[in-house]
Amino acid sequence: VAQAARESLAMDESIRQKRAVAGEEGARRGARRLEPPARSIFDAEQSETLPGTLVRSEGEQAGPDIAVGEAYDGFGHTHALFREVYGRASIDDDNLPLLGTVHFGRDYENAFWDGQRMVFGDGDGMVFGRFTASLSVIGHELAHGVTQYTANLIYRGQSGALNESISDVFGALVEQRVLGHTAETASWIIGAGLFTDRVQGLGLRSMKAPGTAYDDDILGKDPQPDSMNGYIDTVSDNGGVHLNSGIPNRAFYLAAAAIGGDAWSSAGQIWYDTVSGGTIPASSDFITFARATAGAAADRFGAHSIEHAAVTEAWATVGLGM
């Protein structure tokens, strides 16, 4: 027993040292200021020309255009999650201005990050409405920017599915924090509110139960797998990046649910540490990322913490035992 206690004390000491080092790094980096957001929203007026016309700059009052207001507010909420919870200064951690274009294209049924800005279509009005209507989608697109400036996961195959999943994770967390939802009360739906009344569905993807977000005459059944047993080998969609993301999405949900409470400060902090920590390669596959999250959980919460146990168990449940 004494031996075990000594080992556990030694463990605590090493964690304390790691945290002290992290704290000093934070203090040194503290020279870098955490500025408020610098948002600029443009209107493509149904063209596919970027950026379009500048319609709202930071600090300007809201006008009548709902999509412009949603993009502006959504950028603010997402910026706040990264700044207030993770101490990150915008997308690049150096106060990068947030650029967005709304009303992109005609009947354009998507939103995307083009490497420099977030772009939102209006949908066709039959299946999809405005893509700014969902805060988790706005958070998703901005998080692609954060991933680009950190782990820079290659947008193909498993690293691409991780890139997609990380965007879903922070998109969901932005929304949960604004709504005051815990891991237990959250919907874990990405893109709630995007579908028109014609579509039977909760949203684009379910992180809690991948493959069940919709089952509909127009769209068919949500094709996302929820464990490695269902992993989809395909050449389309960059190797199924929007499909296989269901697997790490569910791992995140399971970890957050097992820990309980505010997901952004528990599992979200672990995932943020993993993505921004500078340790995972751009070509990471699922198991590499899974092991890194376990390491990040141990570093931040302790090797014998419930957080660490929750993370390893979550990955094992989706077929990625380590």
Active site residues: 141, 242
Shortest separation between residue 245's beta carbon and ligand ASN, angstroms: 9
CB atoms within 10 A of CB 116: 13
What's the number of CA atoms in the CB half-sphere (13 Å) around residue 27?
6
Shortest separation between residue 270's beta carbon and ligand ASN, angstroms: 23
Q: Is 157 in the site for ligand ASN (CB under 6 A)?
A: no
Nearer to ligand ASN, 136 or 276 (CB): 136
Is residue 263 within 8 A of residue 256, CB to CB? The reply is yes
Site stretch for ligand ASN (CB under 6 A), options 25-33, 78-86, 105-113, 267-275: 105-113
> Residue 160 — left, alpha, or beta (φ > 0 → left; ψ -120 to 50 → alpha)?
alpha
Site stretch for ligand ASN (CB under 6 A), options 31-39, 45-53, 137-145, 176-184: 137-145
Shortest separation between residue 112's beta carbon and ligand ASN, angstroms: 4
Burial group, residue 31, by CB count within 10 angstroms (0-12, 13-18, 19+) = exposed
Q: How far is CA 135 from CA 72, 198, 246, in A?
A: 11, 21, 19
Partner whose binding site includes residue 294, from Zn ion, ligand ASN, none (CB under 5 to 8 Å by kind): none
3 state DSSP class of 43: strand
Q: Which two tokens stand for residue 21?
A: 């080092």
CB atoms within 10 A of CB 127: 17
Of 21, 39, 18, 41, nearest to 29 by C-alpha is 21
Nearer to Zn ion, 131 or 195 (CB): 131
At 210, the amino acid letter reads: P
The residue from 8, 14, 57, 110 that contacts ligand ASN (CB under 6 A) is 110
Nearer to ligand ASN, 88 or 144 (CB): 144
The residue from 122, 141, 168, 262 that contacts ligand ASN (CB under 6 A) is 141
Q: Note the residues at the interface with Zn ion (CB under 5 A).
A: 164, 167
Is residue 296 within 8 A of residue 308, CB to CB? The reply is no
Contacts of 235 (CB under 8 A, 6+ apart): none
Partner whose binding site includes residue 112, from ligand ASN, Zn ion, none (CB under 5 to 8 Å by kind): ligand ASN
> Residue 212 — left, alpha, or beta (φ > 0 → left; ψ -120 to 50 → alpha)?
alpha
3 state DSSP class of 102: strand
Shortest separation between residue 149's beta carbon and ligand ASN, angstroms: 16
Q: Is 193 in the site for ligand ASN (CB under 6 A)?
A: no
Shortest separation between residue 42's beta carbon and ligand ASN, angstroms: 18
Site stretch for ligand ASN (CB under 6 A), options 31-39, 90-98, 107-115, 259-267: 107-115
Q: Is 112 in the site for ligand ASN (CB under 6 A)?
A: yes
Binding residues for ligand ASN, rule: CB under 6 A, are: 110-112, 140-141, 144, 164
